[in-house]
């Protein structure tokens, strides 16, 4: 069930506006206490210490702008980039209802991120697994981000079966992973606009393995690369053995340039 505010549809981001209203009140929590935001905030504190107004952050594929808003509330100069007109309309609506001069949105394809950078930080949540050249995309992100990249994504595993109907293990983009079908045929603009949780131009996407996500980050020049597990707290063991992490094959991957930490 999607939320609606003044005719604008919200499918995932429950954002608390300045007047106290929520954009998707049927969700249990608002974005400010969402586990993925709290996890990103911890990683950003490591790579971008001190006064946040010193730093810029790009929220790629920002959907309805929830993470962008919360980064701006932390003090970052936050830019949300989103390709779909319907999602940008939601972002603009939110922007008009929060007093955050350091928040902006731009409508563009995520592959064009370099046109808008560089940024100290790049946050990429729910996007990588919708791309057909993910390793190449991570290399591009490395050219945009001067300090830190945070990627929250599904990944491919060696499990013989999966809930997503992925292909068998394959080699593509000079990496290992599995194919996922996005559209049966090349979608027209109306279909792409309507499918807010799908890819934009590619009919299928390629899910990298965890190892290749970390490899691609390191290849991009991030000398500290790791998978961040605190989104699963407090029951990390349960989640990894049988719960969300095990069932969804989805995690948070971080690349940091440690040489930038002292500046």
pLDDT for 235-261, tens place per residue? 999 999 999 999 999 999 999 999 988
Global pTM reads 0.93
How many domains is the chain partitioned into structurally? 1
Proportion of the chain above pLDDT 90, given as a percent: 83
What pLDDT score does 72 carry?
98
pLDDT level of residue 203 (50, 70, 90 thresholds): confident
Instruction: Tally Cβ neighbours within 10 Å of residue 37.
Output: 22
Q: Residue 184 maps to which CATH number? A: 3.40.50.150
b/e code 99-124 from CB counts within 10 Å (16+ = b): ebebbbbbeeebbebeebbebbbbbb
**Which of 35, 91, 34 has its CA nearest to residue 62?**
91
Paired tokens of 202: 């590619």
pLDDT of 124 above 80:
yes
pLDDT of 155 above 90:
yes
Question: Residue 25 sits in which domain range?
Answer: 3-260
pLDDT of 187 above 90:
no
Residue range 162-180: mean pLDDT, rounded: 94
Paired tokens of 118: 């560089």
**Which of 164, 87, 168, 170 has its CA nearest to residue 130?**
164
pLDDT of 92 above 70:
yes
């Amino acid at each position: 069930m999607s939320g609606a505010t003044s005719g604008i549809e919200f499918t995932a981001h429950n954002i608390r506006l300045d007047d106290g209203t929520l954009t998707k009140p049927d969700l249990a929590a608002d974005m400010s206490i969402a586990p993925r935001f709290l996890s990103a905030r911890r990683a950003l504190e490591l790579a971008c210490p001190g006064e946040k107004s010193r730093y810029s952050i790009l929220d790629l594929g920002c959907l309805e702008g929830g993470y962008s808003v919360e980064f701006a509330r932390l003090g970052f100069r936050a830019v949300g980039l989103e390709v779909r007109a319907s999602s940008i309309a939601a972002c603009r609506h939110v922007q008009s209802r929060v007093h955050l001069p350091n928040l902006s949105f731009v409508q563009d394809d995520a592959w064009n991120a370099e046109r808008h950078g560089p940024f100290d930080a790049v946050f990429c949540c729910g996007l990588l697994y919708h791309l057909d050249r993910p390793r190449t995309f991570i290399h591009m992100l490395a050219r945009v981000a001067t300090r830190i990249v945070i990627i929250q994504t599904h990944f491919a595993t060696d499990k013989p079966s999966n809930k997503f109907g992925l292909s068998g293990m394959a080699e593509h983009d000079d990496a290992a992973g599995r194919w996922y079908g996005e559209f049966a045929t090349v979608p027209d603009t109306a279909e792409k606009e309507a499918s807010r949780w799908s890819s934009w131009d590619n009919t299928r996407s390629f899910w990298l393995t965890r190892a290749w996500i970390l490899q691609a980050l390191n290849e991009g020049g991030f000398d500290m690369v790791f998978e961040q597990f605190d989104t699963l707290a407090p029951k990390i063991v349960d989640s990894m053995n049988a719960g969300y992490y095990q069932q969804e094959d989805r995690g948070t991957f971080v690349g940091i340039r440690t040489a930038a930490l002292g500046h």
